[in-house]
Structure 1
Amino acid sequence: MGMQSVAVACGALALCLALSTATNPGFVVRMTQAGLDYARQQGMAILEKELAQLKLPDISGKSRKVRYEFSRLRITSFHLPHSQITPISNVGLQVSISNAFAELDGDWRVKFLFIRDHGSFNLKIENAYMKIVLRLGSDTTGKPTISTSECSASISKVRVRFSGKLGRLYNLFHRVIESKLRKSLERKVCDNVAKSVHNELQKQVRTLPVTARIDDKIGIDYSLVAPPRATAQSLDLNLKGEFYSLAHRTTVPFSPLPLAFPSDHERMVYFGASSYFFNTAGIAYHKAGALVFEIPEDMIPKKAGFSLDTSVFSAFIPQLEEMYPNMSMKFRLSTPTAPFLTIGPGGISFQPIVDAQAYAILPNSSLAPLFLLSLTGNVSAVINVRSGRIVGSLDVGRIRLSLKDSAVGHFQVQGLQSIMNFLTSRVILPHLNARLDEGFPLPVLDRIQLSNILVRFHQNFLLLGADVRFQPRG
C-alpha cells in the first residue's frame, strides 16, 4: 500500500471514529427566523437605550489658526429604525442596522487671533449603518456563550449647528470637526455594542438552565452537547436532555437517536423532546426508588363499595379466611424494571410492568406477604405545555394480571380483575397524574413566556411549538 493510500485510509478511519463518537442530542431547541426577528426587536430596543447614554470624550485641536474645544458632548436620542438578523453557519448571527439617526448637543469654545467665542451646538447624525457579528459558543459547563466577533459602524452624514457668533469662523474648520465627531462616534458605538453584548446579552443567554432540579430526588441535564448551530433559516441548540438521580448519577445504557426535525416555521421556537429524554426519566426515578407506591386501606374511596381487607379477597382466595381472618390489607406497587416508552406519529405509548405485592396487616402491625401479582397494560399519554413546563396525563386500558408468587396457595387471578382495575384507575392514576400535572421545566431563558402552543408527534420525538414574549423587569 502506497503512502497516499495509507493517508486516505487513515483519514477515513478518523472520520468514522469522529462520526461514531458524535453525541446526538436528547433535546433540541430551535429558534426560527420569526423568533430571531422577535429577539432582534427586543435587542434593538435595549441597544437604543444603551446608545442614548453613550459618553463621548471632549474634542480639541487647531485648524487654520483656529483653536477649538468641544466639551460636555451628550447624546439626546439614538434611533435604529431598520435592522435585520441573519444566521451565519459555523459562526452565529449577523445583525445589520441601516438608516440609523441620532442627535447630540454640547458646548464649544474657539480662539482665532484675538477673537474668542463660545456657545452650544447641536449635531444630527443621518444614514448611519452598523454591522454586528455575534459569535455563539458554549463553555465547559455546557452553558451558551455569546460575544461580538465583528463590529463596524459608518456615518454618512453629520450636520452641526452652532449658537453664537461663529459665522465665517465655523466654515474654517467645520469639515475637520465633523470628521472627528464622526470617527469618535463610530468608534464609541462599536465599543458600546461590545459592552452591551457582554453586560446584557451574555448575561441573559446564560440564564438558560444547564440543570433543572425537579424534586429532592431527580434533576434534568440541559447542557449543550455542541455549540449553537446556525442554519440558513434557524438557530439550533442541541442539549443533552437527560434526567438523572441527584443521589447517584449513572450512565444511561442507551444513546439518543438522531431527530429528523421538520422544517416547521409557524412558531417562534420549537422544542424537540426525544424518546431518550422521557426514558431517562423512567430510569432516574426507578434508580432513585421513586417508582414505589403503597395503597393502604384508607386510600380506598368510600364510594368504592368494598374495603381493602382479607374478608373481601377471601371470596376469590378462600384460604385467606382461614389463614388471616378479617385483617386489613395493603398493596405495595413497584416496577421491576424502568418503564420504556415509544413515540410515533400516533402519540406516546408504553406497556409498563408493575409488581403488586399484597400484605395482610397483623395485629402487631407487622406485614405478612400474601401474593405477588404482575400487572401490565397499554398506557397512553396526553402532553401539553403550561407556564413553561411540560405537563401531561396518563390513561390506561384494561390491565392484564398474572400470579408471580403466592404465600397462600394457588388461585385464579381473573377474580381479582375488577378490583385491580379499580385500584389502577381510581387510586394509582390520579396520584401519577397529579404529579405529571406539576410538570417538568422546559429550557427557556428568564422572563420568557410561551403562548400559542403546538403539540405534534414524530418518530422518536415529541415536537412542541410556541410563540415567545419577553417580560422586561418592572
Structure 2
Amino acid sequence: MTFINDPHYGNSSIEFDINGLVTSAVAKTTNLQKHPQLSLACGGASKMLLLSLDEDVLNSALEVHFKAGSMHWVVDKVPDQSLLNTANWKFIIPRLYWNYPNDDMLLNISMASSPVIRITSEKIEATINADMVIDVVDGKEIVPVACISVIVSASGVVDALGNKVYGRVGLDNFSLALKWSKIGNFHMSLIQGVIRVFLNTVCMPYLNSRLGNGFILPVVHGFTLQDVYVLTSAEQLTLCSDVTFNASSLTSLSRM
C-alpha cells in the first residue's frame, strides 16, 4: 500500500488516500492510478473514520485465491441426497444410469477463472465461471464422466458490525454448457431445473455461510468501529464509522 497525495485537514479530521492491491507474498504488482478524493460526510452524517475499497482491490484478492488453487469444492452431500445417485438420473441422462446403475455421485467444482466483482450504487454483482465435473463412485474407484461449464451471475449486499464486514448473496441467473462427456451428449435444458435447485439450496447457502463469518477490517489494535454505515457507489465500497478505543488493549500491548 502507498499513501498518495497530501493529507487533507479538516476542523476535526485528517484524511489520507491509500493506494494498493492485494497480492501474494511472491508476486509484484503496480499501483492503481486512481486517486479518488474522499469526503468524511457519509450518508449525511459526519463520521470519524472512512474506509473506501475499490472493486479492483476486491478482485485482486479473489485472483490471489484463484491462483493459489484454493477455489475448489467437492460436493458429496445435498439436501435431497437422491440427486447424487445415478438412479435418479435414469430418465434424464440414460447412459449415465446404464453404465453406472445405482452408484453414488460427487460434484467436483473448481473455478475456471477468477470471479469478477462489480460494484454499483444499488448492489454488488459477481460473475462466477466454474467447471463442474460429475464423478461416479464406482466401487472404490472415482470415475469422471462429464464436465459442465457453469457461469453464475449473483448479487448481494454488504453489512458491517464492529471490526468485521459481512455479506450475503443471491442467485440472479446462470448458463450451462457441456465441455466434455463420456456418457454421450445431453442437452443442458434437461438438467437446468436440477442445477437451479442445486445452486439455490447448496451453492448460495454455502457462499452465505462463508460470507456470514465476516472478514476482519484493517483497524489499528485497540480501536473498534462503531455505528458503521456501508455505502456502495460506482466501483467503490465505502464504510464510514465512529471509533472507540479500549485503553486496556494499549496497556496489554505495551507489556508484550
Q: Is the structural similarity TM-score above 0.5?
A: yes
Unpaired runs of at least 5, structure 2 = 250-256
Q: Which of the pair has the greater relative contact order for Cα pairs under 8 Å at 6+ separation?
A: 2
Matched, 1:249 2:29: no
Match of 2:210?
435
User: C-alpha separation between the residues in 1 aligned to 2:156 and 2:22?
Assistant: 19
Residue among 348, 361, 365 paired with 2:137: 361
| More helix, by proportion | 1
Matched, 1:239 2:18: yes
Please state whether the residue corresponding to 1:316 is helix, strand or coil: coil
Match of 2:78?
300
Match of 1:259?
36
Q: CA deviation at 1:385?
A: 1.2
Q: How does 1:181-196 map to 2 (within 5 A)?
A: none
Asked if 1 retains the 8 angstrom alpha-carbon contact of 2:47 and 2:242, the reply is: yes
Unpaired runs of at least 5, structure 1 = 1-222
- Once the two structures are superposed, what CA deviation does each residue of 1:70-92 show, in whole Å capped at 9, x if it has no partner? xxxxxxxxxxxxxxxxxxxxxxx
Amino acid of the structure 1 residue aligned with 2:18: L
Residue among 370, 379, 382 paired with 2:145: 370
Please state whether the residue corresponding to 1:338 is helix, strand or coil: coil
The sequence identity of aligned pairs, in percent, is: 22
Residues 424/274 of structure 1: CA separation in 2 closer, same or farther (3 Å cut): same
Instruction: Kindly name which structure, 1 or 2, has the bigger radius of gyration based on alpha carbons.
Output: 1
Amino acid of the structure 2 residue aligned with 1:427: V
Q: How does 1:56-67 map to 2 (within 5 A)?
A: none
Q: TM-score, normalised by structure 2?
A: 0.86
Amino acid of the structure 2 residue aligned with 1:378: S
What is the aligned residue count? 244
Q: CA deviation at 1:228?
A: 8.2
Q: CA deviation at 1:232?
A: 3.5
Residue among 290, 309, 312 paired with 2:70: 290
- Once the two structures are superposed, what CA deviation does each residue of 1:64-122 show, in whole Å capped at 9, x if it has no partner? xxxxxxxxxxxxxxxxxxxxxxxxxxxxxxxxxxxxxxxxxxxxxxxxxxxxxxxxxxx
Q: CA deviation at 1:461?
A: 0.7
Q: TM-score, normalised by structure 1?
A: 0.48
Q: How does 1:5-16 map to 2 (within 5 A)?
A: none
Q: CA deviation at 1:472?
A: 1.3
Residues 429/255 of structure 1: CA separation in 2 closer, same or farther (3 Å cut): same
Match of 2:107?
331
Residue among 366, 385, 391 paired with 2:160: 385
User: C-alpha separation between the residues in 1 aligned to 2:33 and 2:147?
Assistant: 35
Asked if 2 retains the 8 angstrom alpha-carbon contact of 1:362 and 1:368, the reply is: yes
Please state whether the residue corresponding to 1:285 is helix, strand or coil: helix
User: C-alpha separation between the residues in 2 aligned to 1:421 and 1:359?
Assistant: 19
Please state whether the residue corresponding to 1:250 is helix, strand or coil: coil
Matched, 1:316 2:95: no
Q: How does 1:94-173 map to 2 (within 5 A)?
A: none
Please state whether the residue corresponding to 2:139 is helix, strand or coil: coil
Asked if 2 retains the 8 angstrom alpha-carbon contact of 1:256 and 1:274, the reply is: no
Greater Cα shift, 352-361 or 413-422:
413-422
Q: CA deviation at 1:263?
A: 5.4
Residues 312/293 of structure 1: CA separation in 2 closer, same or farther (3 Å cut): same
Amino acid of the structure 1 residue aligned with 2:36: L
Asked if 2 retains the 8 angstrom alpha-carbon contact of 1:372 and 1:404, the reply is: yes
Asked if 1 retains the 8 angstrom alpha-carbon contact of 2:17 and 2:35, the reply is: no
Q: How does 1:202-241 map to 2 (within 5 A)?
A: 223=1, 225-226=2-3, 229-233=6-10, 234-241=13-20
Amino acid of the structure 1 residue aligned with 2:7: A
Q: CA deviation at 1:227?
A: 6.9
Asked if 2 retains the 8 angstrom alpha-carbon contact of 1:355 and 1:372, the reply is: yes
Residues 254/372 of structure 1: CA separation in 2 closer, same or farther (3 Å cut): farther
